[in-house]
Amino acid sequence: MARAYNFSAGPAVLPLEVLQDAQKDLVDYKGCGMSVMEMSHRGKDYDAIHQEAIATFKELCGLGDDWSVCFIQGGASMQFAMIPMNFLGKGEVADYGKQGTWSNKALKEGQKVAALRGATVNVAADCQKDIPTRMPIEWKWTDGAQFCHICSNETIAGAELKEFPKTTGPLICDMSSDILSCERDYNKFDMFYAGAQKNLGPSGMAVVAIKKELAAKGDDKIPTMLQYRTYVDENSLFNTPPTWGIYIFGETMKWVKKMGKEKLFALNAEKAKKIYDVIDGSEFWTGTAVPEFRSNMNVTWRIKGGDEELEKRFIDDAKKLGMSSLKGHRSVGGLRASIYNAFPMEGVDALVSFMKDFEKKNG
């Protein structure tokens, strides 16, 4: 069976090499007589998987011993609630960027916690409804903010932060859709996290990198499983972790390391440029993000400014050719090609060729 070119925003394409190795290990992991899904999370075989996954990720991100890497179920959406629960108390202020759909979801969770605790949430920048979509140019931070929350890449908007702001409080970033996709100094942050199902592995958990000093400041009166210190102190083994997801995450990190970050980042930029060049080269297509904020992970566009009939035909015809999930998010419509780290260059070439052919027939 031929594999489709999967342009889904998430769960998304995984490296074929990782999937094939996982297939070999599925029933009998490295001769231990059982699957990773069957082995004890306290046993030595799984412990080696767990420790290597963390070590490889920290190496790729350039993180030292002052950082912890945690595996927390519930995806990035759980983090939207956990962050203010841990770090926002009575009379305190937190800053949020309102940059698009996902950062707005984080903001709403922060507002809920703030309302319960008598705290305040400040919107440091608001460009969520701007068309064409973009990222903030100016930020208004609060002196003494407990934390400042931003999103590096908005998958629905197709907009990405190219430079990160200087903040007055600890900087926390949702990097779900562009983590390890480009050169970045991760030590500028106090915490960053990502739902695994885009660049890191399968769905079902978030990978959270947090400075130990910040984790220790969290509220110790909230439920144990919602405290970051629990995951830091117990190395994400307080309860049974999502062992299979962590295994695939570790294998994906080894794949990134094998590829080489410099090569991978260059390929990501090249893949995006090929599609944007087609969009910019004709009036048939309309890009939906301001050029200087265009995402290299999620390319969003319309046909003739929003011809829904033609867009549906484009999506249907593409699917017949093995190109899946090119429909834009249901909230905005249009077209979207998510081309994460594992997405192959030949898939981009197939899309570009199809776009040119489709324009000739329908332009």
Domains 28-258 and 261-362 share a fold: no
Q: SS3 of 56, please? A: helix
CA proximity to 162, closest of 177, 180, 183, 141: 183
Domain map of the chain by residue range? 28-258, 261-362
- The mean pLDDT of 193-201, rounded to a whole number, is 97
Buried b / exposed e across 35-72, counting CB within 10 Å, b at 16+? ebeebebeeebbeebbeebbebbbebbebeeebbbbbb
The pLDDT confidence band at residue 1, using thresholds 50, 70 and 90, is low
248 pLDDT higher than 80: yes
271 is an active site residue = no
**262 exposed, middle or buried (CB, 10 Å; 0-12, 13-18, 19+)?**
exposed
Tens of pLDDT along 35-60?
999 999 998 999 999 999 999 999 99
CB 110 within 8 A of CB 84: yes
* DSSP-derived secondary structure letter, 186: G
What residue has token string 């082995």?
Answer: 39
The letter for the amino acid at 338 is S
Q: What percent of the chain shows pLDDT beyond 90?
A: 97
102 is an active site residue = yes
CB neighbourhood size of 330 (10 A):
7
174 is an active site residue = yes
> Catalytic pick from 58, 98, 198, 327?
198
Identify the H or E element spanning 98: strand 93-98
Tens of pLDDT along 130-186?
999 999 999 999 999 999 999 999 999 999 999 999 999 999 999 999 999 999 999
CA distances 40 to 12, 202, 206, 234, 244, Å, are 28, 20, 21, 16, 12
Q: What is the pLDDT of residue 145?
A: 97
- Quote the mean pLDDT of the chain: 96
The pLDDT confidence band at residue 2, using thresholds 50, 70 and 90, is confident
Q: What is the pLDDT of residue 343?
A: 98
- The mean pLDDT of 240-259, rounded to a whole number, is 97
What would the CATH number be for the domain defined by 28-258? 3.40.640.10
pTM, two decimals, is 0.96
> Catalytic pick from 102, 141, 244, 255?
102
The pLDDT confidence band at residue 363, using thresholds 50, 70 and 90, is confident
> Catalytic pick from 95, 174, 178, 190?
174
Tens of pLDDT along 217-243?
999 999 999 999 999 999 999 999 999
Tens of pLDDT along 296-341?
999 999 998 789 999 999 999 999 999 999 999 998 999 999 999 9
User: Which pairs count as long-range contacts for 304-307, CB under 8 Å and 24+ apart, including other chains?
Assistant: 306/333, 306/334
CATH H superfamily, domain 261-362: Aspartate Aminotransferase, domain 1 (3.90.1150.10)
Q: What is the pLDDT of residue 306?
A: 87
3-state helix, strand, coil split of the chain in percent (to 5) is 40, 20, 40
CB 206 within 8 A of CB 10: no
